Structure 1
Amino acid sequence: MLSVYFQGVALGVALILPLGPQNAFVLNQGIRQQYHLMTAALCTLSDIILISAGVFGGSALLNQSPLLLNLVTWGGVAFLLWYGWGALRAAISADISLASTQLKQQSRWRIIATLVAVTWLNPHVYLDTFVVLGSLGGQLPPEARRWFALGTASASFLWFFSLALLAAWLSPRLSTVGAQRIINLFVGVVMWFIAFKLALQALTGFY
């Protein structure tokens, strides 16, 4: 069963490495050193729930409901555009240090709400966990399926906590005004790119 476990780890790493809303949010919280470990833990917990749902049968729900997939997609597009605009506005702010201070004053519950939106309104999360992992894991015997799910969940745990801790460690270098402008600009562009890509996929009917 170890081979199945490491297969899950490898696939989990391949799916989670590309920069997306979750990774960008964890990175930013790590740089700010504000609830970054809580953020990593909640991302991991969300992934465990989604991976389990996908591998143990949830993929059929998404595959059989184009309407549900479209609702998730357009909700995600709207959120990514809003999130990207916030990052771009911070990047071009005349006083980025003031903008960063205001961001640091966010409450724990606002951070949790944003994280929930970043994770659960991102259609790629469902495509990765329900369609990709669900279709592969669903073909395995019940015992092997559990090891496969554990492997992909382990990849999420290691990645999110490593990203949060590394960002916090590099925080003194990444908290400068110049670095913050570049990071916010990069995050904003990436969020808008993902949003437009999702919108194009929804309009053409291709996922």
Structure 2
Amino acid sequence: MQAFWTGLGLGLSLIMAIGAQNAFVLRQGIRGEHVWWVCLTCALCDALLLTLGVYGAATLMARFPALDPVMRLMGALFLLLYGGRSLIASCCGGHALDPAGQAQTSLGKTLAVCLALTWLNPHVYLDTVVLVGAVSARQTSKNAFLAGAIVASFAFFFALGHGAKRLRRVLARPRVWQMLDGAMALLMWGVAVSLIWPMAFE
């Protein structure tokens, strides 16, 4: 269960960062257009990327054991820097999520935009493949870790899309994002420490 909760926490901390994809999901939810399909598409894409990260990293490390400490250090560095950015945002002031924009009217165009925002974003690959893969290498159960991360994706996207009308006013408040940024910073730093701590005793 520890691996599951680690995957869930890391998945939420990464996916909750404000970005074009989340803004698009929120906008579709507010407008009530193709919400279920948009949420499902985002979650399935995330699940595929997470699976590639977890099992792809495991395969590479099995063939090249020297990659293990390198990936752990890279993952920890990324988390420390990413957490630092979240902490700065928390201290200096939050930023409201603006869902404004022209909505797509057809399902095909909507899903095309959704897929572009997912697969053409380089940060997606850093988060799901490189970082999640590095963290998963230190887990006692990769299956449980992956399950936690996938549950986080499905829960977040469907909650964001279908709860958009209620979240609209909440997410418009900078103070809310200050609190979320602070929580994400602490969580990311905790995972970073868990990555490099065992290396001191190896």
Q: Same fold (TM over 0.5)?
A: yes
Instruction: State the distance in 1 between where 2:17 and 2:193 align.
Output: 22
Query: Which runs of structure 2 are paired with 1:1-207 in the superposition (5 Å)?
Result: 14=4, 18-20=8-10, 22-29=11-18, 33-36=22-25, 37=39, 39-50=42-53, 62-63=61-62, 65-94=64-93, 96-97=94-95, 108=117, 112-122=121-131, 123-128=134-139, 132-133=141-142, 159-168=152-161, 169=163, 171-172=167-168, 173-205=170-202
Contact 2:6 2:145 in 1 (8 A): no
Q: Identity of counterpart residues, as a percentage?
A: 13
RMSD: 3.8
1:60-102 superposed Cα distances (whole Å, 9 cap, x missing partner): x5346431111110010111011111111111114x337x67x
* Counterpart-to-counterpart distance in 1, 2:173 and 2:141: 39
Q: Aligned to 1:166, what secondary structure does the other structure show?
A: helix
Q: Is the contact made by 1:26 and 1:39 (CA closer than 8 Å) also made in structure 2?
A: no
What's the TM-score once normalised by structure 2's chain length? 0.62
Counterparts of 2:68 and 2:120, CA distance in 1: 26
Name the CA distance, whole Å, in 2 between partners of 1:78 and 1:67.
18
SS in 1 for 2:137: helix
Distance of aligned partners of 1:92 and 1:153 in 2 relative to their CA distance in 1, 3 Å threshold: closer
> Secondary structure at 1:34's aligned position in 2?
helix
Query: What does the per-residue CA deviation read over 1:24-78, in whole Å, with 9 as the maximum and x for residues that have no partner?
Result: 2223358983245465333211233356658xxx55x534643111111001011
Change beyond 3 A, Cα 1:156–1:77: closer
Residue 97 of structure 1 aligns to a residue whose secondary structure is coil
TM-score (ref. length: structure 1): 0.60
Letter in 1 for 2:8: P
8 Å Cα contact 2:7-2:147 kept in structure 1: no
Q: Which stretches in structure 1 are left out of the alignment for 5+ residues?
A: 1-10, 102-106, 135-150
Deviation at 1:114, TM superposition (A): 1.4
Count, aligned residues: 164
